[in-house]
Structure 1
Amino acid sequence: MQTITYDTMSKKIKGSFWKATKDINKPTIIYIHGGGLIFGNRNDLPRDYIDLFLKNGYSVFAPDYLLAPESSYRDIVDSLKKGISYFLDHFDEFGLKNNQYILFGRSAGAYLCMQLIASGLSPTPKALIDFYGFESLLAPNLLRPNALYSSYPKVNEHELKSLISNSPVSNSSYESRFLIYVYARQTAKWQKMIFDDGETEIKITKESFNDKFPPTYVCQSNADPDVPFINSIMLKEKLSNARLIPVNSKEHDFDRTVTTDTIKIYERVIAWLSDIVG
């Protein structure tokens, strides 16, 4: 694994790169981690899944990005654009033959992938892999308190303030900032923690984006307690080239623990990629 550092407007950010063991002509997978745009880091994808991609010819580049509430939506997206631009401009330094890429996001990372595509990335990704993401942070079922997180012990504002930094954050452990996310979902203040006044997301509609999105693989638990499964159904209706694969699970991040079943899920993704990009 190779660690690289690149500049954004507010701080230096790191990325991790793993080079495929063969077929380096294939596109690189740019992986964007989840965490509600509030917590998480570039190295949260279990190594077993990374190794599957590498063995099948797909290098993996995983950038960190700015996190809320210290940074807002615009700066978060811009920090990811910087990471993608770094890859596009320096692919040869990674020993790659081309800068073609596939976007892969889990949860909020998938949302950010979609916002990046909608913003007009150039060149565009060859494919999009969406694991339990959401196409809109402003979906009605995400604007109200979440039942799962409301069942947790209440996080008060004093606890919240103790967890928020005075400077931009781009990398965190699950433990150090998860309670910020719990507070956001308990109080329905998630969106207020992401968007500054006047900021909003890019609305993805069938009329505007159906022909602009690459082939898309959507995979989500059919009983997801965090992001309702209907959100993926709504995305599928907007993108004619999307494939929706339900997983029979009550876990949001059904692939958090590596099992023979989750390995098979990733193998099916790789088979789909083979049909799409060769």
Structure 2
Amino acid sequence: MQTINYITGEETTVRASFWKSEVNVKKPTIFYIHGGGLIYGNRNDLPGPYVKLLLESGYSLFSIDYCLAPECSYSAIIQSVNDGLKFFLMNSKKIGLFNNDYILFGRSAGAYLCLQLMTENLSKKPMAFIDFYGFESLLSANLQRKNSMYASYPKVTFAEAQSMISTSPVTSSSVEERFLLYVYARQSNQWQKIIFKDTQSKEKQLSKSTLQNFPPTYMCQSSYDPDVPFINSIMLKAKLPNSKLIPINSKEHDFDREVNETNLDCYRKLISWLDAVTEH
């Protein structure tokens, strides 16, 4: 694994991790964006056994950090993700890749950021999109209501939440460092307010023409997801001309957090689908 730095916004340094596959140099690279509600998380959260499966199947992996709320505005978050993709597209040869063909892969809020990327006028479009338990809009009505799972957790106070906020931009964190800040956001019903504190910053909607020309999409989510309602994936799939939705029989949001044979098989099936849709 190689660590790469790129610059975004007001000279903020953001890091990426790059794993190069030696199996099939002509396959597209997976451009991965982690989850964490845009508040916590880091580029190395994809469990190693899944990374190993991807590499052994010929898919290199380029995984980015990005600016996080509330230290960074929504526009800065989106800009950092855009800058990460631009860096990859412009420097693929320098890091040893045969080409800059790529597949977007996001888990949870990372999938949301992938969708926001695709509202942009990208210089090169992805060959495919992988959406693991993501959501189309932060402003979905069912994401703005109080969440019963987070309401059942021990209450995180305003003072506890404030103690986790830095005075400088944050681009990476562990679950231990910031997860309770996200819990506070969901318990207090302040999630959207924390993300969109800059009223000049608004998420973009996928246009009809963008949806009509969307890349092949593989969606995977727990049918009993307690965090992001499964209906959100059903509604997104209905808009996409070439998409596949795989329901998982689990009550976990990030069902693949635990590496077991069932979840490894889920990634094997994903790879088989990728092989089929990205063949030249």
Shorter-chain TM-score bucket reads over 0.9
Please give the residue correspondences for 1:1-278 in structure 2 after superposition, counting only pairs within 5 Å.
1-10=1-10, 11-195=12-196, 196-204=198-206, 207-278=208-279
Q: Secondary structure at the match of 1:93?
A: coil
Q: What's the CA shift string for 1:234-270, capped at 9, x where partnerless?
A: 1011112111110000000000011000010001110
Q: What's the CA shift string for 1:48-71, capped at 9, x where partnerless?
A: 001111111100000100000111
For normalisation by structure 1, the TM-score amounts to 0.98
Distance 2:176 2:48 in 1: 20
1:204: how far off? Answer: 2.7
Unaligned 5+ segments in structure 2 are none
One-letter amino acid of the counterpart of residue 28, structure 2:
P
Q: Secondary structure at the match of 2:163?
A: helix
Distance 1:3 1:163 in 2: 26
Distance 2:120 2:193 in 1: 21
One-letter amino acid of the counterpart of residue 67, structure 1:
L
2:214–2:241: 8 Å Cα contact kept in structure 1? Answer: no
For normalisation by structure 2, the TM-score amounts to 0.97
One-letter amino acid of the counterpart of residue 192, structure 2:
Q
1:155: how far off? Answer: 1.1
Distance 1:242 1:74 in 2: 29
Distance 2:250 2:57 in 1: 27
For the aligned residue pairs, the C-alpha RMSD in angstroms reads 0.9
Distance 1:62 1:55 in 2: 17
Distance 1:225 1:209 in 2: 30
Distance 1:87 1:25 in 2: 16
Distance 2:57 2:248 in 1: 23
Distance 1:143 1:33 in 2: 21
1:208: how far off? Answer: 4.0
Distance 1:215 1:120 in 2: 18
1:21: how far off? Answer: 2.1
**What is the number of residues matched between the two proteins?**
277
Distance 2:156 2:120 in 1: 35
Unaligned 5+ segments in structure 1 are none
Distance 2:44 2:92 in 1: 20
Distance 1:268 1:197 in 2: 42
